[in-house]
Structure 1
Amino acid sequence: MTLSALDYTLIIGFFLIVLGVGFFVSKKSGRDSSEFFLSGRTMPWWLLGLSMVATTFSTDTPNLVTDIVRTNGVSGNWVWWAFLITGLLTVFVYAKLWRKSNVKTDLEFYELRYGGAPASFLRKFRAVYLGVFFNVITMAGVTLAAIKIGSVMLGLEPWQTVICGGVITVVFSALGGFKGVVYTDFLLFFVAMAGSIGAAYFLVNIPEVGGIKALMANENVSDKLSILPDFSNKKALITLFIIPLAVQWWSSWYPGSEPGGGGYIAQRMLAAKDENHAIGATFFFNIMHYALRPWPWILVALASLVVFPDIASIQEAFPTISEDKLGHDLAYSAMLTKLPSGLLGLVLASLIAAYMSTISTQLNWGSSYIVFDFYKQQINPNATEKKLVAIGRISTVFLMVLSAGLALLLQNALQLFDVLLTFGAGTGLIFILRWFWWRINAWSEITAMFASGLIAIILKFTPIGDFFFTAKTGIFPDWMEYPFVVLLTTIIWLLVTFLTQPESPEVLQNFYKKIQPGGPGWNSVVKEAKKNNLSIKNKDKAWSVPKGIYAMIVGCTLIYTCMFATGYWIYGETTLALTLTGIAIVSALVLIRLWKALKEDIL
């Protein structure tokens, strides 16, 4: 494949703009650690919302969606569509709580909610566990996708892609800090959307595919179109639909979809002007993430089944690709090689934008953990602001090097997605309940974290997993593996919770006074404070969480119907599309009224 002068102009121009933004904001971003990691907590909802969307618009996402569609059909996307419930619970319940906490990182929350040595250990350990270990794995997956794109579309060796993309991204991230990331995300979002929509439109209409009607009728595609899984296929129904909707969304910690909020989503909520802006940003993100973006990727994935029906056909078309990098996820990059000059440059620029947005966010977020939750807590509590910014920049480079090295060893995006889900299985319920149940303590979280990781390692990397959960020879069906990890982890951390001492009354009362979580789970703490003539409850208002859960349900109805209506409009199923569109409009009207009521609760 040959790039034209126009393609190179678009790509080089994009690089220069991004680096220019990094240099432009570098002086202000380097003023102090709050500016470098939170931009002084002055960000508006729309800018933060676009930044969240741009961050999750990573190079590995279209590859992952392509892998899912080619393997399990469109309905296979329920493995991540189910996380919408998590996202909207964050919007309507947890966003205001995070903003009230006024912490610099979500890990600082541990020493607000818990006390003593266990809280301090949890904060420092999670800083390394999430900021380095999990973060490096996530970035490696994104870089792996970039490697595959570079190999297929540009004929680059893996190390060449890593150096070209990594050096520019790490320089920009180290200079611009959080402000640079968010400002460029604004540009990256529009470039990425234009590229994905343009690619989908063109590729569906290439002669090999023959347009949308021919695509829908193709024998390789027709059995992949259903948005819901085949209810007569027990295994598909359980693994692709029931487990994600019944268990996965609340039980698993996954970057960008943390139950109760967390990670870089929490970082953006903490950077918002106020609680209303935090809520607006997260809701805007969920609408764009689920209702707007999936279909261009799905259409390209479906078209790829016509052009490259199996992995062998991909290997035949691209014989220089090493065998350890072959997989269904490669089909997305393979399809992009058919784009014309100009559009090709735009799509490549959009993929570069997606890569840089995700990696720069992960670097800044992971670095914030290293600086605030490890270096300042463990090594140098009296560090100056200048020193903290310097450590932030050094750790940014360190994280990039580690993730690039790991990316060279990985094979496919779906493999990584499954491992990350299993490692976080069973921990999510704690992140939801710790705000509203006083009995959860630091040992609950420590236990859940280690139990989940240990069980996942045993099942994924030892013969025990094959003995219990192999598809044909295991004692249990293989789909039981994830629920088993969740159940066992939950039992273990609940036992430890009741076998260990609760947090001290002082810690619990201070947390309640600052956050005002409300609800029956804190009644005993409020009553104990009253006995001691302490006033920790600010307002005598009704608990807002039931109203928030109702808003979450209406919001899910709105976004799911928007997403599925779009699909049925594309499929040409007009009656069903009109029905879903009508439901979406009614849901939107109901949600507007609920939103006003929730805003009054904040004020």
Structure 2
Amino acid sequence: MNLNSLDMAVFCLYGIALVFIAWWVSREKAGHQKNAEDYFLAGKSLPWWAIGASLIAANISAEQIIGMSGSGFAIGMAIASYEWMAAITLIIVGKYFLPIFLAKGIYTMPQFLEDRYDHRVRIIMAVFWLGVYILVNLTSILWLGALAINAITGFDMVYGLVFLAVFSIGYSIYGGMKAVALTDIIQVVLLVFGGFLVSYLALDKIAEGNGAWQGFSILLAEMPEKFDMILDESNPNYVSLPGLSVLLGGMWVMNFSYWGFNQYITQRALAAKSLAEAQKGIAFAAYLKLLMPIIVVVPGIAAAMLAPDLSKPDQAYPEMMKLVPHGLLGITFAALVAAIASSLGSMTNSISTIFTMDIYKQMINPNASDKKTVLIGRSVALLSMIIAVVVAKPLLGNLDQAFQYIQEFTGFFTPGIVVIFLLGFFWKKATASSALAAALGSFILSTLFYFLWPELPFMDRVGLVFILCAALAIAISLLTDGKDQEKAVDLQGIEFKTKTSFNIATVGVIMILIALYVAWW
């Protein structure tokens, strides 16, 4: 696929506009010095539409667009469960988790862990998250983004890595969370437009010019197996999506960890004007998640009909992009880069927030001024990106499936993290020692199951380890103390009642999900 001069002009215009808008929305009034709350939490001023759009822009990157489209090619619509189950997870997070975080007035997830447990839990988890965010998430987004650009344009991998790093830092490092969140509006508009365009053209191609709906009907009729939402054990892809575990098992643990207790995601909601505004943003993001399969999965299923002989499933999305005419191709390419850049900008901002607020301000310079704190945050964002560029190829260059690298590594720790937060929220007897035991037990148990029970599906392993870690944490709490903890969350003082608009949105999400799963069970 070749981008012509018109495509490149469109793409360059997008890049220039994004950097300018990021600078413009981040500017300060004369005489005002940007402080830590401004830089890391956008001055707690984000409106609902910015929160919802930024949540999706941070979430959707190359691994989702290329990887999930590839899974659509190989597996079918069943992979959409990752998106659709995330929608209901967001609603739960908005109603039950977010009120606790906002009531605590925290900047970071480790900060909450100190408020609820003790300083040891905060520092250990801060160091853990920094390692994962830099060496797993940031590195993977960069590498997979460069791979996507290489597949579409032939641009050399090294140049792709450097370009993505410089571009994302260029628009996010100065303004911090405000620049990231408000420019994500542009990113999401591009992402949705580009995704719908690719899906429309692919389906129209199937229908031989008779429209996308006709093409979708043909796809349903000729490839019905691609629309099985719940796979049975005879399906060769059962190990990836093990039947009802998708609805009732380990996926809930993975989703709660990602959407509820992940600094990279939750920081947007922490920056809201108010709890009600944050919940509206969460609901908006939930509806955007319902749309995502149309953008990232349908092109892959269409490719299974139009180009069934692709050597690798991950070639499906780039192959479908070939249907886009020049000019619009530039916009579609910009949408892909937008998804990658927004995820990179969001990740570096979260890394800088955790390091600055949980490590630097706690252990190095507790009395640092706001000016010094913001400077450290910017420096850490830049340094983390440099590290990710340097280690990307050594870590990921020899892997066939880089996305699997993310899932497998984080899956060793996810069950313990969810146990720590859920017990911290809703069980007053949970102790700091039980939290540390859950974190360590998650890694040990996951490792044992990985080597001793390799045929156990990844998702089932996550669910089983979660149950065992919860039992371990409860047992340790009861045996070592057995009484309500002084730092336990006082749920009586937290407002869990939601507004009518949020409740209506919740019913809408549930009804849509029921209809989708009933239709394609």
Deviation at 1:184, TM superposition (A): 0.5
Whole-angstrom distance in 2 between the partners of 1:64 and 1:238: 13
Amino acid paired to 1:202: L
Q: Check 1:278–1:36 CA distance in 2 against 1; reply closer, same or farther (3 A cut).
A: same
Q: Which segment is superposed worse, 477-486 or 295-304?
A: 477-486
**Which sections of structure 2, spanning at least 5 residues, go unmatched?**
210-214
Aligned counterparts, 1:349-368, within 5 A: 349-368=334-353
Deviation at 1:343, TM superposition (A): 1.8
1:427 is matched with 417
Whole-angstrom distance in 2 between the partners of 1:384 and 1:94: 31
1:149 counterpart SS class: helix
Q: Which segment is superposed worse, 156-165 or 16-25?
A: 16-25
Deviation at 1:544, TM superposition (A): 5.3
> Would you say the 8 A contact 2:18–2:183 is kept in 1?
yes
Deviation at 1:445, TM superposition (A): 2.1
Q: Which segment is superposed worse, 28-37 or 368-377?
A: 28-37
Q: Check 1:9–1:271 CA distance in 2 against 1; reply closer, same or farther (3 A cut).
A: same
Report which structure shows greater RCO (CA 8 Å, sep ≥6): 2
2:415 counterpart SS class: coil
> Would you say the 8 A contact 1:96–1:276 is kept in 2?
no
Q: Which segment is superposed worse, 300-309 or 150-159?
A: 300-309
> Would you say the 8 A contact 2:38–2:178 is kept in 1?
yes
Q: Check 1:104–1:379 CA distance in 2 against 1; reply closer, same or farther (3 A cut).
A: same
Whole-angstrom distance in 2 between the partners of 1:122 and 1:20: 40
The size of the alignment, in residue pairs, is 507
**Which of 49, 52, 62 is the matching residue for 2:52?**
49
Deviation at 1:338, TM superposition (A): 3.6
2:264 is matched with 264
Residue 404 of structure 2 corresponds to residue 415 of structure 1 = yes
Residue 168 of structure 2 corresponds to residue 215 of structure 1 = no
**TM-score (ref. length: structure 1):** 0.76
2:12 is matched with 12
Whole-angstrom distance in 2 between the partners of 1:21 and 1:504: 50
Residue 239 of structure 2 corresponds to residue 240 of structure 1 = no
Residue 89 of structure 2 corresponds to residue 86 of structure 1 = yes
The C-alpha deviation readout for 1:135-187, integer Å capped at 9, x for no partner, is 54122332233122212111122111101111111122211211110110111
**Which of 555, 558, 563 is the matching residue for 2:511?**
558
Whole-angstrom distance in 2 between the partners of 1:276 and 1:25: 23
2:112 is matched with 109
Amino acid paired to 2:439: M
Q: Check 1:214–1:436 CA distance in 2 against 1; reply closer, same or farther (3 A cut).
A: closer
Deviation at 1:506, TM superposition (A): 4.4
> Would you say the 8 A contact 2:242–2:457 is kept in 1?
no
The C-alpha deviation readout for 1:541-586, integer Å capped at 9, x for no partner, is xx859x9999897455234147669x88xxxxxxx9xxxxxxxxxx
Deviation at 1:300, TM superposition (A): 0.5
1:198 is matched with 197
The C-alpha deviation readout for 1:263-300, integer Å capped at 9, x for no partner, is 233212221111111211111111211x2221122220
Whole-angstrom distance in 1 between the partners of 2:146 and 2:364: 36
2:242 counterpart SS class: helix
> Would you say the 8 A contact 1:253–1:428 is kept in 2?
no
Deviation at 1:44, TM superposition (A): 1.5
Amino acid paired to 1:67: G
Residue 380 of structure 2 corresponds to residue 387 of structure 1 = no
Q: Which segment is superposed worse, 343-352 or 149-158?
A: 149-158
Q: Check 1:178–1:449 CA distance in 2 against 1; reply closer, same or farther (3 A cut).
A: same
Whole-angstrom distance in 2 between the partners of 1:143 and 1:548: 38
> Would you say the 8 A contact 2:231–2:243 is kept in 1?
yes
The RMSD of aligned alpha carbons is: 3.3
Whole-angstrom distance in 2 between the partners of 1:123 and 1:253: 22
Amino acid paired to 2:160: T
Q: Check 1:550–1:136 CA distance in 2 against 1; reply closer, same or farther (3 A cut).
A: same
**Identity across aligned pairs (percent)?**
24
Amino acid paired to 1:265: I
Whole-angstrom distance in 2 between the partners of 1:505 and 1:426: 20
Q: Check 1:239–1:58 CA distance in 2 against 1; reply closer, same or farther (3 A cut).
A: closer
1:176 counterpart SS class: coil
1:526 is matched with none
Q: Check 1:454–1:398 CA distance in 2 against 1; reply closer, same or farther (3 A cut).
A: farther
Whole-angstrom distance in 2 between the partners of 1:366 and 1:15: 24
> Would you say the 8 A contact 1:452–1:485 is kept in 2?
yes
Deviation at 1:387, TM superposition (A): 1.0
2:212 is matched with none
Whole-angstrom distance in 1 between the partners of 2:158 and 2:37: 35
Whole-angstrom distance in 1 between the partners of 2:25 and 2:421: 35
2:430 is matched with 440
Q: Check 1:188–1:83 CA distance in 2 against 1; reply closer, same or farther (3 A cut).
A: closer
Q: Check 1:379–1:191 CA distance in 2 against 1; reply closer, same or farther (3 A cut).
A: same
**TM-score (ref. length: structure 2):** 0.87
Whole-angstrom distance in 1 between the partners of 2:280 and 2:115: 25
Q: Which segment is superposed worse, 48-57 or 401-410?
A: 401-410
Q: Check 1:549–1:47 CA distance in 2 against 1; reply closer, same or farther (3 A cut).
A: closer
2:72 is matched with 69
**Which of 98, 101, 125 is the matching residue for 2:101?**
98
**Which sections of structure 1, spanning at least 5 residues, go unmatched?**
315-326, 471-475, 519-536, 569-575, 577-603
Whole-angstrom distance in 2 between the partners of 1:556 and 1:237: 28
**Which of 319, 324, 332 is the matching residue for 2:317?**
332
Whole-angstrom distance in 1 between the partners of 2:366 and 2:240: 50
Whole-angstrom distance in 1 between the partners of 2:330 and 2:501: 44
